[in-house]
Amino acid sequence: MADEVEGKHKKKMKKKAKHKLEKRKRDSSSEQENTLESKILKTDADGTRSTGLHFTVSLALPGSILDNAQSPELRTYLAGQIARALAVFSIDEVVVFDESGKARSESNNGPNRKSDPNILLARILQYLECPQYLRKDFFPKHSDLQFAGLLNPLDTPHHMKVDDDMPYREGVVLERPARKGYGSSVNVGMRKEVRIDRTIKPGLRVTVKMDNTSGTKFYTGTVVSPPAPRTEQGLYWGYSVRLAPSFGAVFTQSPYKDGYDVTIGTSERGTIVDDLVLPNFRHLLVVFGGLKGLETSLESDETLSGNDPSLVFDHYVNTCPGQGSGTIRTEEAILVTMSALRPIIAKSKK
């Protein structure tokens, strides 16, 4: 009898301990979620909470990295790897800079001409970022894109199928006279066109915030700024592509009013990334060098003095200390670096 009572008591205590452990796990999970939420959510002026993202991450690299590929097919594939990395890490802007300062002409060579690698890379990146249903409107046939159709899709939120239900869509304004009192018609890749709230020049790419589409003869929507899906609802909405004529122009021609808050250069000669602590930022820029590193990019730019790239950046880091290979290709460096920076960025964004 005593053994039976003792057994019941042990069972009861075991059950109680299990309940406490489960409660502790739930509390811990809830605390983590609240911490994450506090980093992502921002209070709007009217006091409401918004899930929008109010920071950007830009990435810069030289187009000369394509010179490391020996054929048009391989150059295209390399550009596709870069585009996939940009999408995976939700990069908002990519800057392709000419590290030589001597852009090659596209028209002064024979049938086996080699395109300017900067223009080639930028064109393929733009092509892949564009939703598939809009590509025929913005990308006429070009030799630089002859193999681009074989590349892996980015599968980003703005690359939608016909019946996908999303609050925003990318579209092209149709060349069709708007009825009096109505806005332009836009092709957003759905079964019906969308009538927007204003009249816009045909052929332009626009971001449309969709209205209710159920049971209507035609869809309606409102034109918003391209960053709206990101700033209003935290959706990754692709990257913009900027061509910079030199290494220095990466910094001086920033599209942001106050430039970049924080700049990071990457090199095996930098300090170990594990020790990096970033201040709060609105616009972060991460720069990668070409085949010979950032030193070559700096030396080729006559507008910048000195030969020490670490003086150009706020932080100059080595994101793969103890590397086994003598070289890390730029497409590999992007994956390694952004993986290392991701948790650091999450702690530092405003």
Q: Rounded CA gap, 168 and 190, in Å?
A: 12
Q: What is the pTM of this model?
A: 0.81
Single out the residue of 226, 84, 222, 95 nearest to residue 156, CA to CA. 84
- Helix, strand, or coil here: 329? coil
Is-contact 230 236, C-beta < 8 A? yes
Decide if 79 contacts 125 (C-beta within 8 A).
yes
Rounded-to-integer distance, Cα 188 and Cα 160, Å: 9
DSSP 143: G
Instruction: Please give the pLDDT value at position 50.
Output: 53
What is the per-residue pLDDT for 122?
97
Helix (H) or strand (E) holding 263: strand 262-272
Domains of the chain: 56-102+115-157+235-348 (3.40.1280.10), 168-226 (2.40.50.140)
SS (H, E, C) 196-245: CCCCCCCCCEEEEEECCCCCCCCEEEEEECCCHHHHHHCCCCCCEEEEEC
**147 within 8 A of 128, measured Cβ to Cβ:** no
Question: Quick one: pLDDT at residue 36?
Answer: 32
Residue recorded with tokens 């452990």: 21
What distance lies between CA 48 and its chain's CA centroid? 27
At position 238, the amino acid (one-letter code) is: G
| 212 HSE (CA, 13 A, CB side) | 3
User: What is the residue-level pLDDT of the chain in tens, covering all 350 positions?
Assistant: 445 545 554 455 555 554 544 544 444 444 433 333 333 334 344 444 457 888 999 999 999 999 989 899 999 999 999 999 999 999 999 999 998 866 444 444 444 445 799 999 999 999 999 999 999 999 999 999 999 999 999 999 999 999 898 999 999 999 987 777 789 999 999 988 999 999 999 999 999 999 976 666 778 999 999 999 999 999 999 999 999 999 999 999 999 999 999 999 998 888 999 989 999 999 999 999 988 888 888 887 777 766 788 889 999 999 998 888 878 899 999 999 999 999 999 887 65
The reported pLDDT for the residue numbered 176 is 84
